Structure 1
Amino acid sequence: MRQELIHVLYTYNNSFAPDNEPLGTIKGHEIDITLNIDRTYPPVLRRPAYPGSPRPREAFEKHIQELIQLGVLRGKVGDFQELNTYTVPDRYPIPRIQETLAQLSKAKFITSMDASKGFHQKVLTPKAKRLLIIITHCGIYEYLRMPFDIKNAPSNYQRMMNKIFPTQLSEGWLIIYIDDIIMCYDSWSLHLERLARVLHKAAE
């Protein structure tokens, strides 16, 4: 059984994100930010830099450099609380935990996977990039990929994942909770077949 599983994972090894390499992007699913037209959002670059006490500055600067290396950020992780108050909410539903647990309770085999820095794999539209600028003690930066703390990030990601895996979801053996993928099986042979299908789709 172990060798069969290793064979499937090796066959679709390009579905997995290598460490310390530029992060891949999800094709055809750019994210935009829709602002409330009844309110004027103040210019980002007129604001003071986000305050930073000496103790966490070193860790903050290291994180900034990691995001730049991954292609998530570029010179030009932020606090978007004010932007979120201007953003039109996305009401796309997130699965209920209770329903997910009920579905899992019937399975004999379960596989769980997490999208590596899933939100950061979503490319921003030019308009969204202009809004997602952060001013720090070590420079001005803009996001090129979706950050974790903007208002509609979870709903947007859930919608995208449901569009990528519609057949698998309709068959009832795949559960998607934002960037977590869970597969349920009644037999080991189904486990291998369905895992291969998901990994193949993820690599596209």
Structure 2
Amino acid sequence: MLRRPLYPESLESRKEIEKHVNKLRDMDIIRKIGHNEMMEVTTPVLMTWHYGKSRMCGYFRALNHYTKAERYPIPMIPHALDKLERAEYITKMDFMKGFQKNLVKANSMKLHRICQAESMIKGV
């Protein structure tokens, strides 16, 4: 079982996490689930940048036990730059607008749950 205790957080951090959770819930990316279900969960971590903006992440280090080593390692930087040199478009993935659309196998969905102070949430 991956159930972890909550990280200590300030009242300010807790309000910020709640704001992120409400925004994701309004976008139908996550939903609230019951506390009484036996399930694996992780805890939310608030990442704050120097300019004050923040992003909520799940602390999924416990999942390392379940993951397989990458069969295709990250390419060497010079090779990646050679490929980018010929690119017409270069973009980035925005987690709020695109990352949640990545497919996750059904038997792995139980590992993508986050426990916060008042409730538990999971991806839709």
TM range (shorter): 0.5 to 0.7
Matched, 1:48 2:5: yes
Give the match for residue 103 of structure 2. Answer: 123
Distance 1:100 1:85, change over 3 A: same
Contact 2:32 / 2:119 at 8 angstroms: preserved in 1? yes
Distance 1:51 1:89, change over 3 A: farther
Matched, 1:111 2:89: yes
- Tell me the distance in 2 between the aligned counterparts of 1:43 and 1:110: 43
Identity %: 29
Give the match for residue 143 of structure 1. Answer: 123
Distance 1:84 1:58, change over 3 A: same
Report the alpha carbon displacement of residue 52 of structure 1 after superposing the two structures with TM: 2.1
Letter of the 1:63 partner, please give it. H
Please list the CA deviations of residues 32-87 of structure 1 after superposition, one character each: whole Å capped at 9, or x if unmatched.
Answer: xxxxxxxxxx253xx43343222211211111122223333211132111122332
Matched, 1:100 2:57: no
Structure 2 spans left out of the alignment, 5+ residues = 34-56
Give the match for residue 60 of structure 2. Answer: 80
The one of 15, 19, 23 aligned to 1:66:
23
- Tell me the distance in 2 between the aligned counterparts of 1:104 and 1:86: 33
Q: CA RMSD in A?
A: 2.5
Letter of the 1:67 partner, please give it. L
Give the match for residue 53 of structure 2. Answer: none
TM-score (normalised: structure 2): 0.61
Contact 1:73 / 1:143 at 8 angstroms: preserved in 2? yes
Structure 1 spans left out of the alignment, 5+ residues = 1-41, 145-204
Give the match for residue 133 of structure 1. Answer: 113
More helix by share: 1
Please list the CA deviations of residues 130-186 of structure 1 after superposition, one character each: whole Å capped at 9, or x if unmatched.
Answer: 122221113111133xxxxxxxxxxxxxxxxxxxxxxxxxxxxxxxxxxxxxxxxxx
Distance 1:55 1:123, change over 3 A: same
Letter of the 1:69 partner, please give it. D
SS in 2 for 1:141: strand
Give the match for residue 51 of structure 2. Answer: none
Report the alpha carbon displacement of residue 127 of structure 1 after superposing the two structures with TM: 1.8
- Tell me the distance in 2 between the aligned counterparts of 1:104 and 1:132: 32
